[in-house]
Amino acid sequence: MPDIIFRRSTGTTIVVVISPLKALMEDQVRHLNKLGLSAVCVSDQHDDRLVQGIINGQYTHVYGSPECFLKSTWRGIFGSKKFRESLVCIAVDEAHCISQ
């Protein structure tokens, strides 16, 4: 984690957090924003500015549900070279809920 924080000072990192719990994601995003990190919670509805901000590394932490990240928009975001170069971690919260 220190490497992530250090690299953030240069504006080059993105952490994706997958969680099924919307209230928990929103709480964590608020906490990170209070710490001065640019975090966002995405949903099924999104706007083009938010998507561009995510691709361009405007947000250090991107939270969303498994269902959200399965949408075609996210395939495009995850496929973006710029996004992949900045991605340093994909974390799955509540991983004990994962099934095949």
For the chain, list the domains and their CATH numbers.
Answer: 2-93 (3.40.50.300)
- The pTM of the full predicted model, rounded to 2 decimals, is 0.82
Over range 66-70, report the average pLDDT. 89
Cα separation, 87 vs 2, whole angstroms: 15
Residue 98: per-residue pLDDT: 66
Strands ordered across the beta sheet of 61-64: 39-41, 61-64, 14-18, 87-92
Reported confidence tier of residue 89, pLDDT bands at 50, 70, 90: very high
Decide if pLDDT at 8 tops 70: no
Task: Give the pLDDT band (50/70/90) at residue 45.
Answer: confident
Residue with tokens 């957090």: 17
The region, left, alpha or beta by phi > 0 then psi within -120 to 50, assigned to residue 77 is alpha
Confidence band, pLDDT 50/70/90 cuts, at residue 82: confident
